[in-house]
Structure 1
Amino acid sequence: MADSAIEQKLARLGMGAAPRVLDLFSGCGGLSLGFHKAGFEITAAVESNPVAAASHARNFHAGDSRHAQALDITQVKPSQLASRLGLGRVTDAVDVIIGGPPCQAFARVGRSKLREIDDDPEAFRHDPRAKLFAPYLDYVRAFRPLALLMENVPDAMNFGGKNIPQEVCEILINQGYICAYTLLNAAFYGVPQMRERMFLIAFRREIANEIAFPAPVSWIDLPAGYTGSRNVALKLITAKRRTDEVCNYVDPPEADGLLPSAVTAHDAIGDLPEIRALDLLGCGVLKRGARRLDELLAYDPGRPVSAYVREMKEWSGFEAGAGISDHVIRYLPRDYKIFAGMKPGDQYPQARAYALALFEDGVAEAKRRGRNIRAGSAEYDDLRRKTVPPYDHTKFPNKWRKMWRDTPARTIMAHLGKDSYSHIHYDSDQARTISVREAARLQSFPDGFVFEGAMNQAFQQIGNAVPPLMAFALAKVMKNTLSDARSVRRANELVLGATG
C-alpha cells in the first residue's frame, strides 16, 4: 500500500517546490548553509546551545524568536516542535532531515577526556552524547523524510567495537530507506581545510535504489597522518569485508592529480587586513578583555583577492558589506614573540624550545645591563613565567601548530573556543593566532554570515560546524536524486494511483 505522506511530498517536489529541511543538532548552521545554497528551504532547526541557536535563527529566519530558542532534542518531541513553529502535521512538515549528533564522545581525544574524568577506560561508552543518534532516528520516524544526511567523526565507525553508522543504516533499512555512508575530506571539495568526516545518506526506496556521494573538485596529497587515522576508523569495516558480512560503507569517490589544487590557507585568508600583534601590543591597542564582534573593519583594497575569497564575499543571500566585524584575535602577550620565531609546521615542542631560547636571551640581556638574575630567584622565576609556556611538551605535542601558507589548514575544531594555538597564522610578521573571521573563512563560511555572541562563542560555533561548501557538495547530489525525472515520474504515478 502506498504511503500517503510520501506520496504528498513526492507530488509537491514534482511540481517544482523546494525540498524543506529540518536541521538537527544544527549549531550555527554549517549544514543548513550548504543546503540553502543548493536550493533547499531551511524550515526548522533543533539546537541546544542558546548562542548557536540564535546564530542559526538570525541567518536563516531573520532572528525570529520562535526559531532562536534553544531546544534539547531529548526533551522536545517532534509534535511539539511542529506545533511550536507552526509546521502543521508532523508527517507532512519536512522533506529532508540533516544533522550531526555531537561528536566529542566518538572522537578519540574526547574518549581520553572522559577517562580522566571518570577514571574508567570505558567511560566514553556511557557518555549520553554518544546516544544522541537515537533521538535523531526518533525524529526520522516521526517526520518520515524522503531523504536524510547524518555527519560525524570517523571514529563513530569504530566506537568501542561498535560501528554506529552501520547500526543506523540497519535501522533505516527496516524503515523503508536505502542507505550508505563513507569518509570524505573537505579539502577535496573546495574547502581550505583538511577535515575528514563520516557522512551517511539515506533515501526512501520509492525514489532511489542507490546512493551517490559527490565527486571531488580539487586535489591534495594528504599528509600520512590522515591515512593512519582513516585505517583506525575503517578497522571494523575491513573485518566485515573479510567475512563478506553486509556492510553499507562505500569507498569515497576518488580524486586525481588532474583536478585543480586544493584551496590553500593563503587563498582563504591572505586578503584580510593585517593584524600585527606585537605592534598592537607595543602601542597599547591590544588589551586583555572580551572581544566583541560588532566593530566594522574595512577590507584592504590593496590586497589581492583569490577566486575563493570572491565566493566568500559574493555568496548569494550572505554577501559581504563594506567590511567585516569579527576580525578579532586573542590577547596572548607572552606568546607573540614565540609565534614570530616559529616556522610553518612547527608544533609545541619546537615552540617551547624557541621560548626557552628567548628566556636565556632575556637572562643574558639582564646580565649585560648589570642585573645578574640567579636561577631559583623570584626575578628568574618571574621572567621564565612571562616567557615560557607552562605546558608539558611530552603531552599533546600538537597542541600548538603554525600553519603552512600554501596548503589547506588542519582541522578547525571547537577547542578554538578555549584557545587558538592549533592555528597560528603562517605570517610571522603578524605573529598571532587566527581571528574569528579567518576561522570562518577556513571553514568556508561566507563573509556575510553573522555569529552571535562574543569571540570565544563564535570560535566554538565555527569549530563545531560542517564546512558549508562540503555541505553544498552533498546537498547538490541529494537534490539531483530528489528532482531527477524518475522521481518525478514516480510522484505522478503515485498521485494518479491515489486518485484513480
Structure 2
Amino acid sequence: MTKEYAIIDLFAGPGGLGEGFSRAGRDTDTPMKIHLSVEMDDHAVQTLRLRAFLRSFPDFPVEYYNALNSGCVLPNWAELYPENWKHAHSEVRQRVLGEKGVFEELAIELDKAREAYNGNTILIGGPPCQAYSLAGRSRNSGKANYVLEDDHRHYLYREYVRILHKLLPAAFVMENVKGMLSSKVDGGGIFSRVLDDLEAAGDGYFLIPLSKATPEDGARAPARDFLIRAEDHGVPQARHRVIVVGIRKDMAEGLHLEEPLLGQPQAPVSVEQAIGDIPSLRSGLSKGDTVEAWQSALRDQASAIASSEAVPMEVRETARAIEIANEMPFLRVSSRKQQSNRMPLHLRDWFADDRLKALLQHETRGHIPGDLGRYLFSSAFSRAFGKSPKLVEFPEFLQPLHRNRSSGKFADRFRTQVVGRPSTTVTSHISKDGHYFIHHDPMQCRSLTVREAARLQTFPDNYLFCGPRTKQYHQVGNAVPPYLAWQIAKAVQRLLA
C-alpha cells in the first residue's frame, strides 16, 4: 500500500521549500502534500495562502489565468470557491514561532497530522538566519549594548527542534545560512549544538549530508559536509546554504550512502541562460520620470563616462555607443512573454506553464541620475572584463558620497550580475536598493526586477508574490530555491521508499 506523507513547513517564507516538496509529491509513487505552513510575515502569508488555494485543484482554476493574462486583479476566491479558500486559510497559519502559546496551539495540529497519517509526516523549514549570517553578525557588532547571548534569534532553531520532538516525523529537512557553521554563542559553536539537538530529538535521528557520502562507520558527518552549493544542482545562483536531512532512526537502520543524495555536480547555469528571454526594459528616474528625462539623464552619464580618461577604453566605447544611440528601450513594465532557446531544458520545463501567456511582476525601479551612471559603468565593465568592478575601480566622479566608502566594507557596493556565470546570492537586501543586483545590459541601466530575481531563485513563472513590490523582493530573497527543494524532496522520497 502506498504511503502518503504530510508536510509541516515551519518558518515557511513565501513557500520555496514547500513548492519543491509539494511538486515532488504530485509526480511520484511516494505522494506528499503540505498539511500545515507556519509563517509570521503578513505578505508572505498572503503568498502562501494563494499558492495553497491553487494547489487544492488538480489544475489551477481558469479564473487565475484569466486575471493574470489580462492584467486584472485576482477575483474574490472566497466567493468563487469558498471551500478551497477555507482550506487554504486552514493550511497556512500566521504565527510567530517562539511566542507564548504558539507551540501549544500548533501541538494540537501536529497530533492530528501524526494520527491521520499514521506517523508518515515530514518536517521542513529554515529558522530565521539574521543572527547567524555574516552580514547580520557584522551589523550586530556595531550596535551599542548588543549582547550575543541575549539575541533570541540564535535559539529559534530550538522551536524547530521542539516541534520535531512533538511530531516525530519520518524525516526532516532544516535549512540555514552558511554563517551558522562559524557562529558562536557562549564561547562554543552553535552548529554543533544544533546537530546534537536534531540528532537527539524524539527517539533519535540519523543525520545525512546531501552532497557527500555518509561515513561508513555510521558516525555523524563532519559539519562542512552539510553545506550545499545551489549552483552545483542546476540553480542559476551561487547560493551556499547549510541543509540537514534527518531520518528517524527506526527507519535508518544500517543506512549507508556511498554516493551523495543529490548526485554529482551539474554544469552551472548562467544568468543569461536563466533570464535572457525576459524582455528589455528601461530603468526609471526616482523623481520626474519621463522617457525624455530618463534618456537625457542616461546620455549625460554616458557622456561623462565616455570622455573620462580614468575609465577603461572598453567601458568608454560602450558608454559612447549609448550616448549616441537613437533607440533605447522605452517600457518600464512588461507582461510580454517569449520563448527562450538558451535556457537548459530542465529549467525551461520547470518555469513553463502553457496556460500562462503573460510575464508576471516584471517592472523596473526608479533610480537617481548618479546611480544610472554607476549602473552603466558597472554593467559595461562586467561585459568587458567578465567580472563586476570593485568600488575602488569606479572613477572618482561616480563614487557615492558615503562617509564610510573607504572602509573596505562596501567593496561590492555596486555589483552587476555577470552574464556568463550564475548570479551571486539573491538575498532580502534586494528589497532595499538593488545596487548588488545590477542587470548585465548597460543599455537598460537598471537593477533586476522581481521576476528576474524569482527566476534566479527558480520560482515557476506562474508563482505570484503578494504585497507591494518591496515586499515581493523581500519574499524572493528570503526563500529556498524551489528547484533545489524539489531535488531534496526527491532524495527524501528515495530514503523513505
TM-score by length of 1: 0.70
Deviations 1:368-421 (A, max 9, x none): xxxxxxxxxxxxxxxxxxx95546332321222111101000111111111211
CA 1:301–1:34 in 2, change beyond 3 Å: closer, same or farther? closer
Match of 1:361 in 2: none
Match of 2:72 in 1: none
CA 1:163–1:275 in 2, change beyond 3 Å: closer, same or farther? same
CA 1:148–1:263 in 2, change beyond 3 Å: closer, same or farther? same
CA 1:339–1:310 in 2, change beyond 3 Å: closer, same or farther? same
Match of 1:110 in 2: 136
C-alpha displacement of 1:59 = 0.8
Distance 1:453 1:212 in 2: 43
Does the alignment pair 1:27 with 2:52?
no
Distance 1:212 1:275 in 2: 48
- Aligned match for 1:441, one of 429, 440, 455: 455
Match of 2:304 in 1: none
C-alpha displacement of 1:74 = 1.4
Q: What's the Cα RMSD here? A: 2.9
Within a 5 Å distance, the mapping from 1:269-280 to structure 2 comes to 269-277=275-283
Does the alignment pair 1:264 with 2:256?
no
Tell me if structure 2 keeps the 8 A contact 1:147–1:204. Answer: yes
CA 1:170–1:313 in 2, change beyond 3 Å: closer, same or farther? closer
C-alpha displacement of 1:79 = 5.1
Distance 2:276 2:348 in 1: 12
Match of 2:356 in 1: 321
Match of 1:81 in 2: 106
Tell me if structure 2 keeps the 8 A contact 1:417–1:457. Answer: yes
C-alpha displacement of 1:329 = 2.1
Does the alignment pair 1:339 with 2:355?
no
C-alpha displacement of 1:153 = 1.2
Does the alignment pair 1:100 with 2:112?
no
- Aligned match for 1:186, one of 208, 230, 237: 230
Does the alignment pair 1:159 with 2:183?
yes
Could you tell me which runs of 5 or more consecutive residues in structure 2 were left unpaired when the two chains were aligned. 26-31, 55-84, 210-225, 296-332
Distance 2:159 2:468 in 1: 30
CA 1:391–1:426 in 2, change beyond 3 Å: closer, same or farther? farther
Within a 5 Å distance, the mapping from 1:37-436 to structure 2 comes to 37-39=23-25, 40-62=32-54, 64-75=88-99, 76-78=101-103, 80-81=105-106, 83=108, 88=112, 92=116, 95-120=121-146, 123-160=147-184, 161-174=187-200, 175=202, 176-181=204-209, 182-209=226-253, 210=255, 215=260, 255=265, 259=266, 261-277=267-283, 281-283=290-292, 297-300=335-338, 306-307=344-345, 310-314=348-352, 321-334=356-369, 335-342=371-378, 343-344=381-382, 345-347=387-389, 349-350=391-392, 353-354=394-395, 356-357=396-397, 388-390=400-402, 392-394=404-406, 395-436=409-450
C-alpha displacement of 1:320 = 6.0
AA aligned opposite 1:55: T
SS of the counterpart of 1:398?
coil
Tell me if structure 2 keeps the 8 A contact 1:278–1:431. Answer: no
Tell me if structure 1 keeps the 8 A contact 2:375–2:445. Answer: yes
Tell me if structure 1 keeps the 8 A contact 2:284–2:367. Answer: no
SS of the counterpart of 1:453?
coil
Could you tell me which runs of 5 or more consecutive residues in structure 1 were left unpaired when the two chains were aligned. 1-14, 218-252, 287-294, 359-386, 484-500
C-alpha displacement of 1:426 = 0.9
C-alpha displacement of 1:158 = 2.0
Greater Cα shift, 37-46 or 336-345: 336-345
Tell me if structure 2 keeps the 8 A contact 1:264–1:408. Answer: yes
SS of the counterpart of 2:175?
strand
C-alpha displacement of 1:21 = 0.5
AA aligned opposite 1:282: V
Greater Cα shift, 164-173 or 465-474: 164-173
CA 1:320–1:168 in 2, change beyond 3 Å: closer, same or farther? farther
C-alpha displacement of 1:350 = 4.9
CA 1:282–1:213 in 2, change beyond 3 Å: closer, same or farther? farther
Distance 2:116 2:344 in 1: 43
C-alpha displacement of 1:170 = 2.2
Does the alignment pair 1:17 with 2:31?
no
AA aligned opposite 1:331: G
